[in-house]
Amino acid sequence: MTSWCRLSGGRLSRPRSGGRGADVADRGWASAQLIEAAQAGDRESIAAVVHGAHSHVRRFAEHLCASPQDAEDAAQEALIILYRKIGSLRATGALASWMFRIVQNECLRRVRLLFDRYDEADAGLATSAEEEVIRRLEADLVAQAIRELPDVQRRVLIMRDVLGHPGPVVAERLGLSNAAMKSQLHRARSRLRHSLDGRNDTADRPHQA
């Protein structure tokens, strides 16, 4: 993904050369002084902070999201949020953890959207409020369990079982042999099943006062 720093048409555009954005390019997270200036509303400082955060945010997204496309979209969305809401950051030293949470939430939201699309097929069936709550809780549990899978297993599972891509296509896109892809898929399914069984057992256990 290209480095973006100025908001234009709903996306972030590349900063002009020179200025504070050029001073911090590719140096990692911005300094506390620069973040303070961005929080105060200085546009060049905001652009510089976003530019400096780009590579870190992209790595977060690649680690947390289910697919390369989701990582691309989640990273872009996180940078837009940073651009628009940096004034709400309470401590200059909390930028990294704040961005990690934003990316994490965005990746999880995208997994939930996948399940919501499949649920649309049942939209004509009447459901009670209780059933709707249960359905959403179950979707959240599955999404969380998928997010906790190792990177390759998570991507294989999403691409094969959720998105429905053919096995050879999944293997090619992830740079795996067919045998390796099948092995990762088997491990992902087993791990997901074990994780969900454990969560259900915990939920069914009575709470002691």
State pLDDT tens for residues 53-88: 998 898 888 877 767 788 888 899 999 999 999 988
What band does 122 get if pLDDT is binned at 50, 70 and 90?
Answer: low
Per-residue pLDDT reduced to its tens digit, 175-187: 999 999 999 999 9
**Per mean pLDDT, which of 54-58, 118-122, 154-158 is the most reliable?**
54-58
Please tell me the predicted confidence (pLDDT) of residue 42.
92
Helix (H), strand (E) counts: the chain: 9, 2
101: tokens are: 């949470």
Long-range contacts of 188-197, Cβ-Cβ distance < 8 Å, separation of 24 or more: 188/149, 188/153, 188/154, 188/156, 188/157, 189/157, 189/161, 191/149, 191/153, 192/142, 192/145, 192/146, 192/149, 192/157, 195/145, 195/148, 196/141, 196/142, 196/145
Domains, the chain, with CATH or none: 6-110 (1.10.1740.10), 113-204 (1.10.10.10)
Tokens found for residue 205: 């256990």
Query: Given this model, what pLDDT does residue 136 score?
Result: 60
Considering the entire predicted model, what is its pTM?
Answer: 0.52
What's the full length of the chain, in residues? 209
**Is the confidence at residue 133, as pLDDT, over 90?**
no
Q: Which two tokens stand for residue 109?
A: 């939201």
28-42, 62-76, 186-200: which is most confident: 28-42
